Structure 1
């Protein structure tokens, strides 16, 4: 928005610096058979990349008129979710941060969000309820049912400063530990210079929910150092075996205190109402909003 020749950024909208990063990563207009027919940046002073700003959480039918037809915005979001645009933005965003490189002490955790009743009932279109809907959604539409009602669980990996690196979704009742390796595999950071994107952390920090023997073995096989506390039952079982129980895993309390960065990142993500409560029927679209906001956390 421009007032008296001075650009004004509305609350919740992106800065010009952030747009400069995102713009080259979005699909080019004029695709095959004219499929990409919508208004692009520069068509008017108040209409930049409407879709990205429109994805902040308002109900689609209640979008302000300046965003254009809500069906057009929704279709853009759906298309760019399917072709991986948002994940490419998240992979590229770290190199545009304030000069501080990615800190490869990775913390992982999960958080449950309440799924609104409007998020249920998505058509399965011939696939089973347990088949993955999209990358990042590990079980159909990632909605679970429990005593508390419908819920979705967000699995998150962040760097040493609490900046998001990868996001997965499961139903709310799903366990944390089975998603650890998948969460690490989803990390994909395009660092400056030649070479492949980086995926492997220097150190992994996780809580007792990930303290499984098979997980520790898998991390050792990958050469990933980790700080994960033992559960009380594991300590008791090892003690009961006496000298044959083996040594306890290495655990550094000082390093483990840094695990709180992932909780702080969840707090930042849930500042957006559309993320704190899930309204989207499709797990792919809900995750797209999460990935977009995660990228914005990195952007200037």
Structure 2
């Protein structure tokens, strides 16, 4: 498992194009959107440390924001692409660890068996 650190500028350049573009909100509605790089760093911190979302350090956006975007990225396969781009071979270990902590099925990277246990094992 890789040691966690904030994304470097070079890493951010590689993965920023993988993340969907968010439409800005009108100035008169709600809070401004959280910085996508900070959200991604927060989500990676949770995954790598095996921590709960609520225990995220305060340097990241609110954990609810990070969790909501992570779930959207996970469900659409974006997070898998980010894993593969950032971690290469270590992506498999991170994927298994994430699958062990999340109850919903996660699409496995190519060559990796699905991490969701059979219904009879629950």
For the aligned pair, the TM-score class normalised by the smaller chain equals 0.5 to 0.7
Structure holding more strand per residue: 1
Number of residue pairs matched by the alignment: 99
Q: CA deviation at 1:84?
A: 2.5
| Equivalent pair of 2:41/2:60 in contact (CA under 8 Å) | yes
RMSD, aligned α-carbons: 3.9
| Residues 207-226 of structure 1 aligned to structure 2 (within 5 Å) | none
Q: Compute the displacement of 1:31 (Å).
A: 6.6
Structure exhibiting the larger radius of gyration computed from Cα positions: 1
Q: Give how far 1:23 is off.
A: 0.9
Give secondary structure in 1 for the equivalent of 2:17.
Answer: helix
> In structure 1, what is the equivalent of residue 93 of structure 2?
269
Which one of the candidate residues 22, 27, 35 is aligned to 1:40? 35
Q: Distance in 2 between matches of 1:51 and 1:277?
A: 18
Matched residue, 1:24: 17
Report the TM-score, using the length of structure 2 for normalisation.
Answer: 0.56
Distance change in 2, residues 1:71/1:88 (3 Å):
same
Given the alignment, which residue of 98, 101, 121 partners 1:279?
A: 101
After TM superposition, the runs of 4+ consecutive aligned structure 1 residues lying more than 6 A away are 31-34
Normalised TM-score (structure 1): 0.26
Which residue of the partner structure matches residue 12 of structure 1?
Answer: 4
Distance, in Å, in 2 between the alignment partners of 1:64 and 1:74 is 14
For structure 2, the residue ranges without an aligned partner over 5 or more in a row are 110-122
Going from structure 1 to structure 2, the CA distance change for 1:49 and 1:86 (only over 3 Å counts) comes to: closer
Structure 1: give runs of 5+ residues left out of the alignment.
1-10, 97-162, 165-264, 292-300
- Cα distance in 2, alignment partners of residues 83 and 277 from structure 1: 15
Residues 51, 76 of structure 1: 8 Å contact kept: no
